[in-house]
Each structure stands twice: as C-alpha cells, then as structure tokens.
C-alpha cells in the first residue's frame, strides 16, 4: 500500500518492541568547507541497533549572493526545512498505508523565516533561530477528511525531525584543534 511493505513494518515494530535497543538509530555527517559560505556534506554511515549501514551521499550547501554565497546550492535553512518536511511526508505515507488509504499523490509545502539581525548579532533581544516553520499537506486520495486529519496529526506528532525542531535538543560539541 503506497509503496509501504506493511508486513515488514509489522515485523520491525515487533522486533523493536521486543528489544528496544534494536531501535536506536545513529546518524553521521562530515562537513567540509569549500571557501566562502559553501560547504560539502557527506554521510558517514548510520547504525540501527547493532547493524552498521553504509551511506554514500554527498551534497552542497551554499547561500544566495545577497548572503555572501554563490547561490550554487540550497541554504542550511532550506535543508533543515526539507528534512522536517520529508520526515512528515514519510509519516503521512506510512500512516495512510496502515489506515488503508491509497494515495494518488502527496505534496507538502513549507515556509519559514528568520531575522538576519539575530544571525549578524545586531541589537539586543533579536532571536537567532528561525521564527517558525509552517507546512501544508496536499493529499490526493479517497478518504474521509477526519481520517486524513488523523493521519496528518500522527505524521507530525511521530516525526522525529518535526518533534526535534518543535521541542529542541541540546547542541553539543566544540573546537577540536586550533591551527
């Protein structure tokens, strides 16, 4: 249903319910500065439970010319929003499949804003973080509106990325070396 193997989903849920550490998932990225405000991101692999999974993806991050970039790639905020949006969409597709709703198409639009004065440390009381992220889901299917609302709510409430952004998490780390 909707490209989701419901039998495999059921098996994965049962396995994680029986062995909670089997559901702990870790992700890794390596970022390399490429000059100016352009960076390259590379996946360094992930792990689900004790299983190590190779990941080999690379993408660029840049800013528009107005923010000192070359406009050669999406901004960090666009990547953040796409990560939240994609996670919500995954949840929507899976929840629709579980509820027996066959999707013909699914679209999600996102928008967000931030005050550059905060980023540039101009003035006091200006927030550095984005002011919020808004989303709109457009699902083409034959389903009762109340059921679609239930699916959409679950898609957000059980989205790791949406809940991470909504509730915040510690950002830890520090400088490793000084040249």
pLDDT tens-place string over residues 150-167: 999 999 999 999 999 999
Which residues on neighbouring strands pair with residue 116, listed in sequence order? none
Token output for 74: 């999406």
Are domains 1-73 and 75-166 of this chain identical in fold?
yes
Q: What's the token pair of residue 18?
A: 């029986």
Q: pTM above the 0.75 mark?
A: yes
What pLDDT, in 10s, does the model give residues 136-146? 999 999 999 99
Is residue 43 within 8 A of residue 59, CB to CB? The reply is no
Tokens 């405000």 identify what position? 37
d(CA 64, CA 84): 21
Please check whether residue 138 is in contact with residue 106, taking contact to mean a CB–CB distance below 8 angstroms: yes
The reported pLDDT for the residue numbered 40 is 97
The architecture of the domain spanning 75-166 is: 2-Layer Sandwich (3.30)
Instruction: Say yes or no: domain 1-73 is CATH 3.60.110.10.
Output: no
Domain borders along the chain are 1-73, 75-166
The answer to whether the CB of 108 falls within 8 A of the CB of 136 is yes
- Confidence (pLDDT) at 124: 83
């Amino acid at each position: 249903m909707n490209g989701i193997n419901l039998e495999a989903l059921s098996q994965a849920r049962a396995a994680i319910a029986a062995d909670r550490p089997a559901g702990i998932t870790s992700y890794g990225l390596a970022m390399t500065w490429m000059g100016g405000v352009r960076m390259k991101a590379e996946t360094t692999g992930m792990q689900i439970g004790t299983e190590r999974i190779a990941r080999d993806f690379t993408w660029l991050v840049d800013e528009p010319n107005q923010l000192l970039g070359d406009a050669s790639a999406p901004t960090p905020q666009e990547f953040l929003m796409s990560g939240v949006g994609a996670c919500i969409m995954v949840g929507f597709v899976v929840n629709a499949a579980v509820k027996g709703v066959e999707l013909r198409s699914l679209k999600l639009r996102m928008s967000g804003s931030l005050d550059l004065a905060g980023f540039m440390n101009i003035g006091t009381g200006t927030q550095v973080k984005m002011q919020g992220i808004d989303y709109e889901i457009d699902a083409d299917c034959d389903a009762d509106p109340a059921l679609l609302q239930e699916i959409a709510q679950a898609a957000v409430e059980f989205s790791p990325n949406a809940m991470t952004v909504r509730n915040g998490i510690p950002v830890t780390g520090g400088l490793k070396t000084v040249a």
